[in-house]
Amino acid sequence: MINRKSIVRAAGAGAAAAVAMGLFSTGAANADTFVPLPGGEIVRTLSDGTVVTVRLVGESANINPSMGSTPVHRNAWVSASAQVELSGSGAKGGKIYPGYVVGCQVNIGGGGVEGGVSGEGTWDGESFGVGAESGGELSLGPGQAKSFYVLDIEEADDFGNESHEKRNKFKGKSGSVTWADETIGLSGCAGYAQARAFVKVKVETENVMSVVTLWGQPFSIG
């Protein structure tokens, strides 16, 4: 029995916070395969001259192709750090939304899925919006894909009620989020499956509000 603890660390403008993502227990059906991933970087200049730099560093995946002892079950444990830097006199801060897209027998690396000033993307002519849900337990059939956010931060809303946020909010000119052994659990996919990290950043300055999205490299999960 393997016990894995997933921890997300969120830091912004010199402050740090820890978010516990829970304990995951798995049975060892097959040996894990460790996959180092290159991460990435994107730099965008907003209309008011603010420069936004988004980086994905320390990215990796640990793949187990058949945790349910059948070809339609797969598990992966993913880790990375999302880092954001802003330059410009009007920068006020931003919000970081890290997540993953998972596809079953669909090419999530084609059709122009690249980083850009957008929260939308396409693959093979199909459009999607990144980060629909939180949590990585997914059921997909052939030709389907879903996205999810890594974070699920519990905090009080403006009225003191409990709310769950999928972002880390930072003030000033820098912020980051780090996650370790976040689980992607996929069932129902009898063919090949892929996953791909994304980091969506909402930036606010004195004059503009914009979204910049960085995409990681697609990787096979069996």
CATH number, residue 169: 2.60.40.1650
71: in domain:
yes
184 lies in some domain: yes
Domain of residue 187, residue span: 31-110+130-220
**What would the pLDDT profile of 63-84 be if each residue is shown by its tens digit?**
986 655 566 788 899 999 999 9
**Average of pLDDT values for 21-41?**
67
Evaluate whether residue 23 is within a structural domain.
Answer: no
Q: Which amino acid is at 178?
A: T
In-domain check, residue 25: no
pTM (two decimals):
0.75
Name the nearest CA neighbour of 62 among 15, 24, 95, 90: 24
Pair of tokens at residue 25: 């227990």
Average pLDDT over residues 57-64: 94
Pairing of strands 174-187, 137-139: parallel
Domain for residue 169, yes or no? yes
d(CA 190, CA 61): 21
For 178-212, the pLDDT digits (tens) are 999 999 988 888 888 999 999 999 998 888 899 99
Residue 159 resides in a domain: yes
Q: Report the candidate in 202, 197, 203 with the shortest Cα–Cα distance to residue 215.
A: 197
Q: What is the pLDDT of residue 49?
A: 92
Q: Is residue 97 a part of any domain in this protein? A: yes
Number of compact structural domains in the chain? 1
3-state secondary structure of 57: strand
- The answer to the question of residue 176 being in a domain is yes
